[in-house]
Amino acid sequence: MPHFDLTPPTADQRAALEAGLSADERRVLLQHGTEAPFCGVFLDNKREGTYCCRLCGLPLFCSSAKFDSGTGWPSFFAPYDASHIRRIRDTSHGMIRVEEVCARCGSHLGHVFPDGPPPTFERHCLNSVALSFVGEGEALPDPLRRGGAEAGPA
């Protein structure tokens, strides 16, 4: 598996990336919001490819790990690379959950639950607006202009 630079964006890079976000993307990625169920653009996406962080472009999940959880959000049973996701205990809204954020830029992605299918039995339940999608064989996004693995095909 290719190596990706997990160094956080500089303050200037982050400001430039955040300037390109829509209001919905800003609410979810930066303010830990949640999009409404059954409306996300990637819920029914069946194309082969890679789901990346909408803010910094880090690959997060492969289409081969996507499954229909029936919950209304895109769901995956395993990340692209475990080091690309950071898990944080979330006690908001009177619940105890595990929030998932991008390991590189810290953007809120969704939550992970222990009720997924084999082999991991995990359900990574994500917000579509937190993601971008790159079709198989297409170049991965490289908004931080780091080159290397970021510049290669998915």
Positions annotated as catalytic residues are: 125
Q: How far is CA 81 from its chain centroid? A: 11
CA gap 43, 7 in Å, rounded: 30
CA gap 12, 34 in Å, rounded: 26
CA gap 137, 153 in Å, rounded: 5
Spatial contact of 132 and 138, defined as CB atoms under 8 Å apart: no
